[in-house]
Amino acid sequence: MSVLIVGSTALDSIKTPRAENPRLLGGSASHAAVAASFFAPVKMVGIVGKDFPKRYIQLYRKHKIDLEGLQIAEGKTFHWSGEYEVNMNNRRTLETELGVFETFTPHLPRSYQNSPFVLLANIAPSLQHHVLDQMRRPKFVVADTMDLWLNIAMADLLKLIKRVDGFVLNESEARQLTKEDNLVNAAKKLHKLGPKYVIVKKGEHGAILSGPKGLFISPAYPLPHVVDPTGAGDSFVGGMMGYLSTAKGSIDSNLRRAMIYGSVVASFCCEGFGLNFTTRVTRKAIEKRVKELEALVKF
């Protein structure tokens, strides 16, 4: 089964205490699509400008990502630049240039409209709505978001949460949205807003799932050296959706394992700048880390 992914398709300029890398392939959709592609066919929706390097298109193709829904428009590709502090957990956005995203209206090709699994990766909630409006009864829809939309598009976001099966956000966003410090209580409040499944990402401390089967704690794979965590959250949710779309059985019985797969793909993402490391990973390497993670949490 295929996964449809909409989100940002970007050029990222990233600065860490050790290095600086301009104009890497980035964006929530790019990270999520590559992560999902290890498990399932992916259909991507996004927009880039005429300045988007051809080698990045080739990289999507290497991962067999369907690009019929990728618009190439006059103008500049969305550009985001950010800088990490020494501990690599705190990030500061230096600049966001919307470029072609300013006038973006996602149009879903016919072949996309029956996709059973839909990931509304981080992008303006109005665009996430627009994609969902064009879908024919998807089986499982998950939305991700970021603090920006909580600050400038809360009404749209609240409407969107009502329409999705799963909602993914990081812990500070969960606290901000619910005005609740305790994450267990924050998850309860988020369920009241609509979604059956709530996933709170906690960076290097993994993620918490709250759903009909109760709580589940998914660990992050312990890395001795983080090169660049940009896109780890997108890789997590992309890997999770990719795995979920191919697993036999109900969502309920597969979601926990799917989160472990997401965690593992996210760990690879952190080991290189942008998508540099993720795009060199193999399914075999993913399976090996999943086994290691399983052993780490068994008691």
What the block records as the tokens of 174 is 């969960």
3-state DSSP call for residue 75? coil
Decide whether 81 or 247 has the Cβ nearer to ligand AMP.
Answer: 81
Complex with ligand AMP: residue 88 or 190, whichever CB lies closer: 88
Q: How far is the CB of 99 from ligand AMP (least distance, A)?
A: 12
CB of 39 to ligand AMP, least distance (A): 19
Residue of 233, 239, 242, 262 that binds ligand AMP (CB under 6 A)? 233
Strands 91-97 and 197-201: unpaired
Q: Which two tokens stand for residue 107?
A: 């149009």
Around 273, how many Cα atoms within 13 Å sit in the side-chain half-sphere? 19
Q: 120: phi > 0 → left, psi -120 to 50 → alpha, else beta; which? A: beta
If one asks whether residue 27 binds ligand AMP (CB under 6 A), the answer comes out as yes
Least distance in Å: CB of 114 to ligand AMP?
Answer: 26
Query: By rule CB under 6 A, what string of x and - marks binding of each residue 100-139 to ligand AMP?
Result: ----------------------xx----------------
Piece of the chain touching ligand AMP by CB under 6 A; list 4-12, 55-63, 65-73, 283-291:
4-12
Applying CB under 6 A, among 6, 10, 161, 199 the residue interacting with ligand AMP is 10
Q: Which two tokens stand for residue 256?
A: 């926990």
How far is it, in rounded angstroms, from Cα 31 to Cα 11?
A: 12
Which stretches of the chain are DSSP H helices? 28-36, 54-62, 125-133, 147-152, 154-163, 171-178, 183-192, 232-246, 251-269, 283-297
Residue 275 and residue 34 in contact, taking contact as beta carbons nearer than 8 Å: yes
Residue 26 touching ligand AMP (CB under 6 A): yes
Regarding 230 and contact with ligand AMP (CB under 6 A), the answer is yes
Stretches 7-15, 160-168, 178-186, 240-248: which one binds ligand AMP (CB under 6 A)?
7-15
Q: How far is the CB of 113 from ligand AMP (least distance, A)?
A: 23
User: Are 200 and 187 a contacting pair, CB within 8 Å?
Assistant: yes
Specify the stretch interacting with ligand AMP by CB under 6 A; choose among 22-30, 187-195, 207-215, 285-293.
22-30
Q: Is 12 in the site for ligand AMP (CB under 6 A)?
A: yes
Letter for the amino acid at 73? A
Label the pairing between strands 197-201 and 207-211.
antiparallel
Contact pattern from residue 34 through residue 73 relative to ligand AMP, giving x for each residue in contact according to CB under 6 A and a dash for the rest: ----------------------------------------
234 lines the binding site for ligand AMP (CB under 6 A): yes
Strands 166-170 and 197-201, sheet pairing: parallel
Tell which residue, 156, 146, 203, 174, has the closest CA to residue 10: 146
How remote is the C-alpha of 268 from its chain's centroid? 14
Q: How far apart are CA 40 and CA 59, in angstroms?
A: 16
Q: Which is nearer to ligand AMP, 2 or 81 (CB)?
A: 81
Task: Pick from 21, 71, 96, 176 the residue near ligand AMP by CB under 6 A.
Answer: 96
Is residue 177 at the binding interface for ligand AMP, with CB under 6 A as the rule? no
Contact footprint for ligand AMP (CB under 6 A): 8, 10, 12, 26-28, 80, 96, 122-123, 148, 230-234
